[in-house]
Amino acid sequence: MAKRLSVSNQHLSLENIAEVYHYRCKSLQLYFSEENPKFSLVFAGLLSEEVHFLKVEQISEAEKDACLNLLAGIEAKFRLDYSHRCERKLKDPLSKQMRMLFQRYQYHCPLDQGIFNLWKSSGLVSPALISEIKGAFHYRHWLAHGRYWTYKSIKYDFDGLYYLSKQVDKLPLTSED
């Protein structure tokens, strides 16, 4: 077996991601409002419609950032579970299948065609949930790789991905003891 995965313990909690996102949105609301003491200086020469457009654009970017963090958190949970099951040589059927993948991929096992498929066939989770996660990861790839192609699939939002993250939290994922 390869060396153990060096875990940073710097991954964010769902609550922290939500809190940061909501603070950013509130800050942006204030920044783009006339309550901002520097509003007339910062937005001099712009029409109110232009200021509104800038605000909507910035809030949309904050949401995309938060969505990426949520999806990265889901990835971390599945990868930590995979690592834990393989390192601890757990005896349940899912862990045994993961160890077979580990022999080939070590810690670089593909999520979509590896870890997610094992979970889907495990009977421990509804296949629909794993399919939903896989779909959300297409959005994650679009976000994480620079959004340079036209994204034609379902657009995800913060609330939907937060709910999906809560569903992942209910899975029987293992954790470091």
How many folded domains does the chain comprise? 1
Residue 123 domain-assigned?
Answer: yes
Where in the sequence is the domain holding 145, given as residue range(s)? 14-169
Confidence of residue 3 (pLDDT cuts 50, 70, 90): confident
pLDDT in tens, 117-164: 999 999 999 999 999 999 999 999 999 999 999 988 878 999 999 999
Is the model's pLDDT at 26 over the cut of 50? yes
Is the model's pLDDT at 6 over the cut of 90? no
Higher pLDDT, 1 or 81: 81
Phi-psi region of 77 (alpha: psi -120 to 50; beta: other; left: phi over 0): alpha
Enter the pTM of the model: 0.92
